[in-house]
């Protein structure tokens, strides 16, 4: 059961998704399978518009022969007027069709991006805490933002290239063949060498694009972390050191971007050289025929018009594989996140957790983080329902690990954790966490108002219940002193409030949840004496009548606990009340107590496990 690392889809799962990470076709198949049906009407409309664009473009090239012959050879003014009107109508129709397809594809693309944002957010919420500890959050966010447009671009480029560029090119080539099939054949012989050169460039571009995305995500991640920790940066005068570090990351990102530019733009000399050769050859051949063979100029003019108009769609199609390669790399990296299998999925047949006394029991629990040493080495203890159990011991003993195992942030490698006799591994996480309230050592507040942050404990809570929870948490008075009371914005991560105020709001959030089990992870360790006194009063209210498991930071909490569990190096070494343990002269608890001379401070440092 142990470990906390999410995995990727296995080979069978990948086949079910029809995705081969090494081919554009595989990515395209998956994108179409996931999005094509939902937007089939929109794509049908866009394709129809693109067909109109292609048809009108071919028509303009085709009719140019008639224009030249009727105007310059036959001198028929009436026919020229009719032809000119038809050309005007073709341009108007092409403009409307271009507008229609652009709007339709933009709406579809925006819908796809929004859909994948929702899907990504929901998927990230399903992943375990361990996944986010292994990934740097700032880089993960930046990478998602950079890659999410790849899904949209793969579809839109495919649709526009096939329905507009390919059809336009086919139509114009048809015009060219109808005017001079021999010359058209010569032109078409230019294509194979060009395609081979572009294929070579696309393979080199694939790796460069992935490296560029990684480098850019590191740049954005470094900037975000600096902004979030700006007070520490200023306090320790880290500006110059961080500037050098970020400069190096930016230089790497710049080099990757320049490499992509060099690879991408190599198509320009290739296509321009081939186009120049083709057009100059056509002009020489056609001019020779007009001068020495008295061939009417209309066919030549139509052929050259079609050839020149075919240049843009041919150039876009030539760059299509390179553009698709870049978009496919983005899509693959996005799918790497979506294909990450949540480690802590509910077991098949998992039941709802039922509560009676809310007793929590550990039975020979062993745990280690991914690829790390064993943290818990067979922990067993019982936290009685409706009572307070305190965990004490030196830093690194495993106290915070125990707190994190109860809500199943992680799963133990072996052993059982029971709530009212039910193994929490066999119940749904939702039913377990719905009956837990958690106050961490470092309270986190979200964007929004004070009222919003308290309501996160129970979304259906009324304003009256929120205010009552704030009173019990000794937060009501300082909330009313804020400029907008309960509607005051808390700022990013609650930075407009003091540490004690943020902690009391965190306790109010736990209280409004009205859960039978309360987990306290050194909730007062980072506070000053005055703030701690206020928070401790709030905790006393919060603990009343609940099953409480608390990591003790001050002896005042320990003295009042119904049971104290003393830990050392991942093992439970003592259990009992304060009076029992304090009078065991050889015990760890008594030794810590005596070393402190009865002072309130019990542990040294911050527990990291």
CB 139 within 8 A of CB 225: no
- The confidence score (pLDDT) of residue 553 equals 64
pLDDT of residue 427: 92
Phi, psi dihedral angles at 145 (to 5 degrees)? -60, -35
Q: In whole angstroms, what is the distance from residue 55 CA to residue 410 CA? A: 61
CA distance 47 to 53: 10
Q: Does residue 276 carry a pLDDT above 80?
A: no
Residues of the chain with pLDDT > 90, as a percent, come to 15
* Mean pLDDT confidence for 505-513: 88
For the ranges 156-160, 273-277, 569-573, the maximum mean pLDDT occurs at 569-573
CA distances from 431 to 190, 219, 354, 428, 435 (A): 67, 40, 8, 6, 7
**Enclosing H/E stretch for 361:** strand 360-368
pLDDT of residue 126: 79
Measure the CA–CA gap between 170 and 403, rounded to whole angstroms.
Answer: 67
Q: What's the pLDDT tens digit per position in 338-366?
A: 888 777 778 888 899 998 889 999 999 99
| Total length of the chain | 609
Looking at residue 356, its pLDDT comes to 87
Dist CA 187 CA 121 (whole Å): 51
Where is 71: in which H helix or E strand?
none
Given a cut of 50, is residue 608 above it in pLDDT?
no
Taking CA 517 as the corner, what is the angle to CA 488 and CA 430, rounded to the nearest 5 degrees?
80
**Higher-pLDDT residue of 158, 290:** 158
CA separation for the pair 193, 196 (Å, rounded): 5
Q: How far apart are CA 207 and CA 329, in angstroms?
A: 9
List b or e across 496-527, with b for residues whose CB sees 16 or more CB atoms inside 10 angstroms.
bbebbbbbbbbbbbbbbbebbbbbbbbbbbbb
56-106 residue pLDDT tens:
888 888 887 777 776 666 666 667 778 788 888 888 998 999 899 889 888
Tokens of 197: 């050169």
Per the listing, tokens 């009063």 go with 537
pLDDT, mean over the chain:
78
Higher pLDDT among residues 420 and 135, named by residue: 420
Q: Provide the pLDDT for residue 81.
A: 77
Instruction: Point out the least confidently predicted range of 279-283, 305-309, 375-379, 569-573.
Output: 279-283
Judge whether residue 213 has pLDDT over 80: no
Q: What is the pLDDT of residues 5-46, one digit of tens each?
A: 555 444 334 444 444 555 677 787 888 888 878 888 988 898
Nearest-angstrom CA–CA distance, 537 and 358: 24
Most confident of 505-519, 521-535, 577-591: 505-519
Residue 275 has phi, psi (to 5 degrees) of -65, -40
Q: Which CATH architecture has domain 351-435+518-535+547-609?
A: 3-Layer(aba) Sandwich (3.40)
Q: What is the pLDDT of residue 384?
A: 92
Of the candidates 28, 322, 336, the one whose C-alpha atom is nearest the C-alpha of residue 204 is 322
| Percent of the chain scoring above 70 in pLDDT | 79
- Give yes or no for residue 607 having a pLDDT over 50: no
Please name the fold of domain 8-341: ABC transporter transmembrane region fold (1.20.1560)
- 394, pLDDT greater than 80: yes
What is the Cβ-side half-sphere exposure of residue 254, based on CA atoms within 13 angstroms? 6
Give the residue carrying structure tokens 């020979």: 364
Confidence of residue 547 (pLDDT cuts 50, 70, 90): very high
pLDDT band at 4 (very low <50, low <70, confident <90, very high): very low
Confidence of residue 606 (pLDDT cuts 50, 70, 90): very low
pLDDT exceeds 90 at position 418: yes
pLDDT beyond 80 at 423? yes
* Closest to 381 measured CA to CA, from 181, 166, 561: 561
C-alpha distances out from residue 137 to 170, 217, 270, 560, Å: 48, 10, 42, 39
The continuous run of DSSP H or E covering 418 comes out as: strand 414-419
pLDDT at 328 > cutoff 90 = no
Give the pLDDT of residue 424: 93
**Hey, what are 425's tokens?**
């591994």
Among 96-105, 125-134, 211-220, 520-529, which range has the highest average pLDDT? 96-105
Distance CA 524, CA 606 (A): 12
The pLDDT value recorded for residue 419 is 94
pLDDT at residue 603, rounded to an integer:
41
CB crowding 105-137: b at 16 or more within 10 Å, else e: beebbeebbebbeeebeeebeebbebbeeebbe
Using one digit for the tens of pLDDT, what is the confidence trace for 140-154? Answer: 776 677 677 777 777
User: How does DSSP assign 448-485, residue by residue?
Assistant: SBHHHHHHTT-TT--HHHHHHHHHHTT-HHHHHTSTTG
Distance CA 173, CA 169 (A): 6
What's the pTM? 0.67
Query: pLDDT by residue (tens digit) across 438-480?
Result: 888 778 888 889 999 999 888 899 999 999 889 888 889 899 9
Higher pLDDT, 573 or 599: 573
Q: Are strands 436-439 and 340-341 parallel, antiparallel or unpaired?
A: unpaired
Looking at the domain that runs over 443-514, which CATH code has it been given?
3.40.50.300
Q: What six digits make up the tokens of 130?
A: 């361990």
Pairing of β 517-521 and β 547-551 = parallel
The token pair that represents 41 in the structure block: 């009407």
Residue 252 — pLDDT band, cuts 50, 70, 90? confident
Residue 375 has pLDDT above 80, yes or no: yes
**H or E stretch at 516:** none
What is the number of other CB atoms lying within 10 angstroms of the CB of residue 370? 14
> Position of tokens 């553009």?
323
Q: Is residue 581's pLDDT more than 80?
A: yes
Please state, in angstroms and rounded to a whole number, the distance separating the CA atoms of residues 565 and 571: 10
**8 A C-beta contact, residue 205 and residue 263:** yes
pLDDT of residue 605 exceeding 70, the answer is no
Between helices 297-338 and 167-179, what is the axis angle to 10°?
160
Q: Is 276 exposed, middle or buried (0-12, 13-18, 19+ CB in 10 A)?
A: exposed
Give yes or no for a contact between 17 and 331, defined as CB atoms under 8 angstroms apart: no
- Identify whether the C-beta of residue 531 lies closer than 8 Å to the C-beta of residue 499: yes
In the prediction, which pLDDT does 366 show? 94
Q: Count the Cβ atoms, other than its own, within 10 Å of residue 424.
A: 22
CATH 3.40.50.300 domain position(s) in the chain = 351-435+518-535+547-609, 443-514
- Please provide residue 413's backbone torsions phi and psi, each rounded to the nearest 5 degrees: -70, -35
């Amino acid at each position: 059961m142990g470990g906390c690392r999410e995995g990727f889809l296995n080979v069978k799962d990948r086949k079910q998704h029809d995705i081969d990470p090494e081919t554009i076709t595989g990515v395209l198949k998956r994108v179409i399978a996931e999005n094509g049906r939902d937007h089939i009407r929109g794509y049908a409309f866009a394709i129809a518009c693109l067909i109109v664009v292609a048809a009108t473009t071919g028509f303009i090239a085709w009719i140019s022969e008639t224009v030249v012959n009727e105007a310059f050879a036959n001198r028929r003014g009436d026919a020229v007027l009719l032809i000119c009107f038809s050309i005007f109508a073709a341009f108007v129709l092409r403009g409307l069709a271009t507008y229609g397809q652009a709007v339709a594809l933009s709406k579809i693309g925006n819908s796809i991006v929004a859909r994948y944002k929702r899907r990504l957010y929901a998927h990230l919420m399903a992943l375990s805490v361990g996944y986010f500890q292994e990934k740097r959050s700032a880089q993960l966010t930046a990478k998602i933002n950079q890659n999410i447009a790849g899904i949209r671009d793969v579809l839109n480029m495919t649709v526009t290239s096939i329905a507009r560029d390919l059809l336009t090119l086919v139509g114009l080539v048809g015009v060219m063949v109808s005017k001079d099939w021999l010359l058209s054949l010569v032109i078409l012989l230019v294509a194979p060498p060009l395609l081979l050169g572009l294929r070579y460039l696309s393979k080199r571009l694939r790796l460069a694009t992935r490296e560029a995305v990684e480098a850019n995500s590191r740049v954005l991640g470094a900037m975000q972390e600096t902004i979030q920790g700006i007070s520490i940066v200023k306090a320790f005068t880290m500006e110059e050191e961080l500037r050098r570090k970020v400069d190096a990351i930016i230089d790497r990102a710049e080099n990757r971007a320049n490499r992509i530019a060099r690879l991408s733009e190599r198509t320009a000399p290739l296509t321009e050289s081939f186009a120049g050769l083709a057009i100059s050859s056509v002009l020489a051949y056609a001019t020779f025929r007009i001068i020495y063979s008295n061939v009417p100029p209309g066919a030549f003019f139509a052929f050259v018009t079609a050839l020149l108009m075919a240049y843009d769609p041919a150039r876009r199609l030539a760059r299509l594989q390179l553009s698709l390669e870049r978009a496919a790399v983005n899509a693959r990296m996005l799918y790497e996140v979506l294909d990450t299998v949540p480690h802590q999925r509910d077991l098949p047949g998992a039941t709802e957790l039922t509560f009676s006394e809310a007793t929590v029991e550990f039975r020979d629990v062993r745990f280690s983080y991914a690829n790390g040493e064993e943290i818990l080495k067979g922990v067993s203890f019982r936290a009685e329902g409706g009572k307070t159990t305190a965990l004490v011991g030196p830093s690194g003993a495993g106290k915070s690990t125990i707190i994190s195992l109860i809500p199943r942030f992680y799963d133990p490698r072996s052993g059982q954790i029971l709530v009212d006799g039910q193994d929490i591994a066999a119940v749904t996480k939702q039913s377990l966490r719905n009956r837990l309230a958690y106050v961490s050592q470092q309270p986190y507040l979200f964007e929004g108002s004070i009222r919003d942050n308290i309501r996160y404990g129970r979304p259906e809570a009324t304003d009256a219940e929120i205010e009552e929870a704030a009173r019990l948490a000794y937060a009501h008075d300082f909330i009313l002193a804020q400029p907008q009371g309960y509607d005051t914005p808390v700022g990013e991560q609650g930075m407009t409030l003091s540490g004690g105020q943020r902690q009391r709001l965190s306790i109010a959030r736990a209280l409004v949840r009205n859960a039978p089990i309360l987990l306290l992870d050194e909730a007062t360790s980072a506070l000053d004496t005055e703030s701690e006194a206020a928070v401790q009063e709030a905790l006393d209210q919060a603990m009343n009548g609940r099953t409480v498991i608390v990591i003790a930071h001050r002896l005042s909490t320990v003295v009042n606990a119904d049971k104290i569990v003393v830990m050392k190096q991942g093992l439970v070494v003592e259990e009992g009340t304060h009076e029992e343990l304090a009078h065991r002269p050889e015990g760890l608890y008594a030794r810590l107590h005596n070393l402190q001379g009865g002072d309130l401070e019990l542990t040294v440092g911050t527990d990291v496990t």
